[in-house]
């Protein structure tokens, strides 16, 4: 059924870059049936899943939505996808994304944009973005082209596309899921997580994805709790903080109204709601857009056409590097490499990169202090609903501003969940974000369940 849906809808949505052959999918499904019959079903047995094309999949082309890796077939399986396979998940294909996961609209893919299956009431001809960078995953899950999908989130790339497509997306605590075999963007921020149709599904899928892996030096060795049991638990008496600094000037009335609605739902469920302050919030975006490009410039140095990436020919070695990188990287990736090398260069390092790292520590401390008083924070996921393809494209700063509510949790490394919270007046989905303490995804999932 999912492959039929892909056949019908993928030409319009472009949610998948690669679809696996029907015979392979069928063989995996038959194997799942056999395990089930023997009573050996795993957590994800038989569940058809899309995989963001940033996870290396053994024998299956993995592109990062870049020309640079357009022909790359990994000889190994990423840690997270290996865990999903071991739990019985069935992969349908590799989903579209912004090139190297850099973006908020899925407009920078070398394989063309992915499109949001939702449309604005009255203007069905205006194609909307599914969000980014995990836009193929969110479009696929929302339109029934996958039951669930993997995403990665560096500064919002699971949560914002989930909000824009009316699905659930969870960025776990940094270190919860192994980064081994996930093509790196900004290694101190990158984190894999589930994108699903319900909070319960997100809990189940995280349980299958998470766990210690010695091959990722920042992987946590904390035990993985039975996350699927967290959903449906009473949230009575839990304390919910409303970060006052997130009431940014100019925030649309509909976003504020949704936020108030979320507060009312949690009060009805027996939560105590209080205002809290995260005083360094206003520096979040600026420090993120220094740290992330800095790490990107370092990570993407490996695509030189010799060890990694496509190769363009030229008469000298430097010429090969230059021609390869000029042909292989798109405009957004190139601009970030330039920004990153600039902020890391001698003479600017202290003024930009070091300063941004100090601010990052202050932002992390803001969260730790808030979590002395409250169990979770509640905020919008994004400052708008899905926008039209082409909007914000000529103004990168406007595009970056879209990440205002998602980057702080990434900088702090804390878990954050986006839950669908209703529709705006144009009939488009909006998302609410639940942010929790380090490694306390369970409380985040319980609160998410109460909001659903």
Task: Kindly tell me the burial class for residue 309, based on how many C-beta atoms sit within 10 Å of its own C-beta (0-12, 13-18, 19 or more).
Answer: buried
Residue facing ligand GLN at closest CB distance: 157
Given the complex with ligand GLN, which of 2 and 171 has the nearer CB atom?
A: 171
Per the CB < 8 A criterion, the answer to whether 95 and 17 are in contact is: yes
298: annotated active-site residue? no
Q: CB 153 → ligand GLN: shortest distance, Å?
A: 5
Helical segments of 345-395, H only: 355-373
Given the complex with ligand GLN, which of 20 and 300 has the nearer CB atom?
A: 300
134: annotated active-site residue? no
* Rounded CA separation 124/24 (Å): 36
102 binding ligand GLN? (CB under 6 A):
yes
441 binding ligand GLN? (CB under 6 A):
no
Given the complex with ligand GLN, which of 32 and 129 has the nearer CB atom?
A: 129
Helical segments of 269-405, H only: 284-299, 317-328, 331-344, 355-373, 396-401
Question: What does the block give as tokens for 144?
Answer: 């029934």
Q: Which of 78, 104, 108, 133 is labelled catalytic?
A: 133
Q: CB 175 → ligand GLN: shortest distance, Å?
A: 16
Query: Where does this chain touch ligand GLN (CB under 6 A) — which range of 85-93, 95-103, 135-143, 440-448?
Result: 95-103
Task: Kindly tell me the burial class for residue 265, based on how many C-beta atoms sit within 10 Å of its own C-beta (0-12, 13-18, 19 or more).
Answer: middle
- Residues 161-190 interacting with ligand GLN (rule: CB under 6 A): 185
The site for ligand GLN, by CB under 6 A, has a size of: 13
35 contacts: CB under 8 Å, gap ≥ 6:
41, 42, 45, 88
442 binding ligand GLN? (CB under 6 A):
no
* Rounded CA separation 6/49 (Å): 12
295 binding ligand GLN? (CB under 6 A):
no
- Residues 312-341 interacting with ligand GLN (rule: CB under 6 A): none
* Rounded CA separation 298/201 (Å): 35
403 binding ligand GLN? (CB under 6 A):
yes
Query: Where does this chain touch ligand GLN (CB under 6 A) — which range of 55-63, 98-106, 348-356, 436-444?
Result: 98-106
Sign, CA torsion 203/204/209/211 = positive
Sign, CA torsion 367/370/371/375 = negative
Binding to ligand GLN by CB under 6 A, coded x per residue (else -) over 119-158, reads --------------x-------------------xxxxx-
Helix 355-373 / helix 284-299 crossing angle, nearest 10 deg: 120
DSSP string, 55-81: B-BTTB---TT-GGGTT---SS--HHH
81 binding ligand GLN? (CB under 6 A):
no
Residues in the chain: 452
Given the complex with ligand GLN, which of 155 and 420 has the nearer CB atom?
A: 155
Strand order in the sheet with 90-95: 16-19, 90-95, 48-52, 148-153, 191-196, 168-171, 416-423, 429-436, 376-380, 239-243, 272-276
Query: Where does this chain touch ligand GLN (CB under 6 A) — which range of 21-29, 97-105, 252-260, 370-378?
Result: 97-105
Per the CB < 8 A criterion, the answer to whether 290 and 188 are in contact is: no
103 binding ligand GLN? (CB under 6 A):
yes
Q: CB 149 → ligand GLN: shortest distance, Å?
A: 15
Given the complex with ligand GLN, which of 213 and 295 has the nearer CB atom?
A: 295
133: annotated active-site residue? yes
**DSSP label at 184?**
P
Q: Which of 78, 157, 178, 446 is labelled catalytic?
A: 157
101 binding ligand GLN? (CB under 6 A):
yes
Given the complex with ligand GLN, which of 14 and 106 has the nearer CB atom?
A: 106
Residues labelled catalytic: 52, 133, 157
Site residues, ligand GLN (CB under 6 A): 101-104, 133, 153-157, 185, 292, 403
């Amino acid at each position: 059924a999912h492959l039929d849906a892909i056949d019908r809808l993928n030409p319009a949505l472009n949610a998948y870059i690669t679809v696996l052959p029907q015979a392979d999918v069928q063989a995996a499904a038959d194997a799942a049936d056999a395990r089930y019959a023997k009573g050996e079903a795993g957590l994800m047995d038989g569940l058809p899943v899309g995989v963001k094309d940033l996870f290396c999949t053994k024998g299956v082309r993995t592109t990062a939505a870049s020309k640079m890796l357009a022909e790359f077939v990994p000889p190994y399986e990423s840690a997270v996808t290996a865990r999903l396979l071991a739990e019985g998940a069935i992969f349908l294909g590799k989903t579209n994304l912004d090139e190297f996961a850099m973006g908020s609209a899925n407009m920078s893919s070398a394989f063309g944009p992915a499109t949001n299956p939702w449309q604005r009431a009255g203007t069905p001809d205006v194609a909307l973005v599914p969000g980014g960078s995990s836009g193929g995953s969110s479009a696929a899950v929302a339109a029934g082209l996958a039951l669930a999908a993997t995403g990665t989130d560096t500064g919002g790339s699971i949560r914002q596309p989930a909000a824009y497509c009316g699905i659930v997306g969870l960025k776990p605590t940094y270190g919860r899921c192994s980064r081994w075999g996930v093509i790196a963007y900004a290694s101190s921020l990158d984190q894999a997580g589930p994108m699903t149709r319900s909070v319960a599904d997100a809990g189940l899928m995280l349980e299958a994805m998470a766990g210690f892996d010695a091959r990722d030096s920042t992987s946590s060795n904390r035990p993985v709790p039975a996350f699927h049991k967290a959903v449906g638990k009473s949230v009575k008496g839990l304390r919910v903080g409303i970060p006052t600094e997130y009431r940014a000037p100019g925030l649309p009335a509909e976003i504020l109204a949704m936020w108030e609605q979320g507060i009312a739902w949690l009060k009805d469920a027996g939560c105590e709601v209080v205002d809290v302050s995260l005083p360094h919030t206003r520096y979040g975006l600026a420090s993120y857009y220094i740290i992330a490009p800095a790490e990107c410039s370092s990570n993407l140095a490996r695509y030189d056409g010799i060890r990694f990436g496509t190769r363009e020919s030229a008469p000298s070695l430097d010429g090969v590097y230059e021609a390869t990188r000029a042909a292989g990287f798109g405009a957004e990736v190139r601009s970030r490499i330039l920004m990153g090398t600039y902020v890391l260069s001698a003479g600017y390092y202290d003024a930009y990169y070091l300063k941004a790292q100090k601010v990052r520590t202050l932002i992390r401390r803001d969260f730790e202090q808030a979590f002395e008083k409250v169990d979770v924070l509640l905020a919008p996921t994004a400052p708008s609903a899905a926008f039209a393809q082409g909007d914000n494209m000529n103004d990168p700063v406007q595009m970056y501003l879209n990440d205002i509510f998602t980057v702080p949790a990434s900088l702090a490394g804390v878990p954050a969940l986006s839950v669908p919270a209703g529709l705006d007046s144009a009939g488009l989905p909006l998302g609410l974000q639940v942010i929790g303490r380090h490694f306390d995804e369970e409380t985040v999932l319980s609160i998410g369940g109460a909001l659903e």
